[in-house]
């Protein structure tokens, strides 16, 4: 009986190969799979004959049936792969159509402006210094001559971390202190980076923003040097006809202190809606480094003088690109971002 079953399996193998050679479609391939390997398929029926054989012959028949099963499955997979390749090759391709261009990424407009700012200051001999965004109270406030009762230390203005042991820096001024601690004058640096303040988002405020601060310390540094650097910077950024002006102000870490403005880049200083008919646009603050700050870094205030200034990158970008709402930089609107 075993010999007769083996002969039937050989005949079944030949029948399978003949039908497999004529398969042209996926439907025909599926029919071939069901006919030979399905629950009621030809090969499956041979497993029923195992019970009719003596124990010593059962392994021989089982081995033969499993061998054919693997052979049929492998052949069906080969046919399936061949049909898929033919389908791909047969697909119509219009070579006159333009190709699919990959999406090209680009720098965020804020990063473009920040890079431009850094390049201008590098051209004037400044180096770029970086510092941590999570700061201590000492570097963010105390070493900058900001007293304990100053409003900026309030929880409503500053993000505190780890039970008030650390905070998210409210400006990049701590980088100035860290730089002065690490080396002696002359110093000529800018400190760009992200800052954080507990502000409610609106058209001109964001709890996270970018800032660039500058610091120069050396012998004989004057307020006139500060004005010359800022004027040169603004003219390179907005055009050679740009003017600047200073208005008296107060900052704990500079004395004297000033707010500085630039002539309106929209109307050239004549007065318009953007500058509210004043002809000037407010930028940020600046001033001579307070001698008290030098005391924290062990600089001789009788020997050295210095100036510091700051600017918001978002403010510069809004002026440069005529954008009226700071929130647009953070909404991740691709149609907006791809304009720059």
d(CA 109, CA 320): 10
> Does residue 163 surpass a pLDDT of 80?
no
- Give pLDDT tens digits for 221-254: 999 999 999 999 999 999 999 999 999 999 989 9
> Does residue 300 surpass a pLDDT of 90?
yes
Model pLDDT, residue 269? 78
Least confident interval from 60-64, 126-130, 243-247: 60-64
Q: Is 161 helix (H, G, I), strand (E, B) or coil?
A: strand
Q: What is the percentage of the chain residues whose pLDDT exceeds 90?
A: 46
> Does residue 95 surpass a pLDDT of 80?
no
DSSP percent split of the chain into helix, strand, coil, nearest 5: 45, 20, 35
- Give pLDDT tens digits for 248-297: 999 989 999 999 999 988 887 788 877 788 889 888 999 999 999 999 99
Model pLDDT, residue 191? 97
Here the tokens at position 208 are: 């996270």
Residue 296: CB partners within 8 Å, gap ≥ 6?
142, 143, 145, 177
**Which pairs count as long-range contacts for 70-74, CB under 8 Å and 24+ apart, including other chains?**
71/13, 72/16, 72/36, 72/37, 72/43, 73/37
Residue 39: CB partners within 8 Å, gap ≥ 6?
none
User: Which one is predicted more confidently, 82 or 156?
Assistant: 82
Model pLDDT, residue 7? 77
Model pLDDT, residue 156? 65
Residue 133: CB partners within 8 Å, gap ≥ 6?
168, 169, 193, 194, 196
> Does residue 199 surpass a pLDDT of 80?
yes
> Does residue 89 surpass a pLDDT of 70?
no
> Does residue 93 surpass a pLDDT of 70?
no
> Does residue 69 surpass a pLDDT of 70?
yes
pLDDT averaged over the chain? 87
Model pLDDT, residue 76? 86
Model pLDDT, residue 165? 78
Model pLDDT, residue 49? 66
- What topology is assigned to 109-337 in CATH? BirA Bifunctional Protein; domain 2 (3.30.930)
- Give pLDDT tens digits for 13-35: 888 888 888 888 888 888 888 88
In sequence order, which ranges of the chain are alpha helices (DSSP H)?
2-21, 26-37, 42-45, 58-90, 109-123, 137-140, 173-182, 223-238, 291-296, 313-321, 334-337
Neighbour-count burial for 103-126, b at 16+ CB within 10 Å, e otherwise? eeeeeebbeebbebbeebbeeeeb
As a whole number, mean pLDDT of residues 59-67 equals: 77
d(CA 150, CA 152): 6
Model pLDDT, residue 307? 97
- Confidence band of 92 (pLDDT split at 50, 70, 90): low
Q: How many CB atoms lie within 10 A of CB 51?
A: 7
11 preceded by cis ω (within 30°)?
Answer: no
Strand partners, 286: 258, 309
Domains in the chain: boundaries: 2-90, 109-337
> Does residue 114 surpass a pLDDT of 70?
yes
């Amino acid at each position: 009986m075993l010999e007769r079953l083996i002969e039937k399996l050989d005949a079944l193998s030949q029948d399978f190969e003949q039908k497999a050679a004529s398969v042209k479609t996926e439907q025909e391939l599926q029919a071939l799979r069901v006919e030979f390997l399905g629950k009621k398929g030809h090969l499956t029926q041979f497993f029923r004959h195992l019970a009719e054989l003596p124990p010593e012959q059962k392994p021989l028949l089982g081995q033969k049936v499993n061998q054919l099963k693997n052979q049929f499955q492998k052949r069906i997979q080969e046919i399936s792969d061949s049909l898929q390749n033919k389908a791909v090759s047969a697909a119509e391709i219009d070579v006159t159509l333009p190709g699919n261009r990959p999406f090209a990424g680009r720098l965020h407009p804020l990063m473009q402006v920040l890079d431009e700012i850094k390049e201008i200051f590098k051209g004037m001999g400044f180096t770029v210094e970086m510092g941590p965004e999570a700061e201590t109270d000492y570097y963010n406030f105390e070493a900058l001559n900001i007293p304990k009762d100053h409003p900026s230390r309030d929880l409503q203005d500053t993000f505190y971390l780890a039970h008030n042991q650390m905070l998210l820096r409210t400006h990049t001024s701590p980088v100035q202190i860290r730089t002065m601690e690490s080396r002696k004058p002359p110093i000529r640096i800018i400190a760009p980076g992200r800052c954080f303040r507990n502000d409610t988002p609106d058209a001109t405020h964001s709890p996270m923003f970018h800032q660039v601060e500058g610091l120069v310390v050396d012998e004989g540094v004057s307020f006139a040097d500060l004005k010359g650097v800022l004027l040169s910077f603004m003219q390179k950024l907005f055009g050679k006809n740009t003017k600047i002006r200073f208005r008296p102000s107060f900052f704990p870490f500079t004395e004297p202190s000033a707010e500085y403005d630039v002539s309106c880049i929209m109307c050239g200083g004549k007065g318009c809606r953007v500058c509210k008919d004043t002809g000037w646009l407010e930028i940020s603050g600046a001033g001579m480094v307070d001698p008290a700050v030098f005391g924290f870094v062990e600089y001789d205030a009788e020997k050295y003088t210095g100036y510091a200034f700051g600017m918001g990158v978002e403010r510069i970008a809004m002026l440069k690109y005529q954008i009226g709402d700071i929130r647009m930089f953070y909404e991740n609107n691709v149609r907006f971002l791809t304009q720059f």
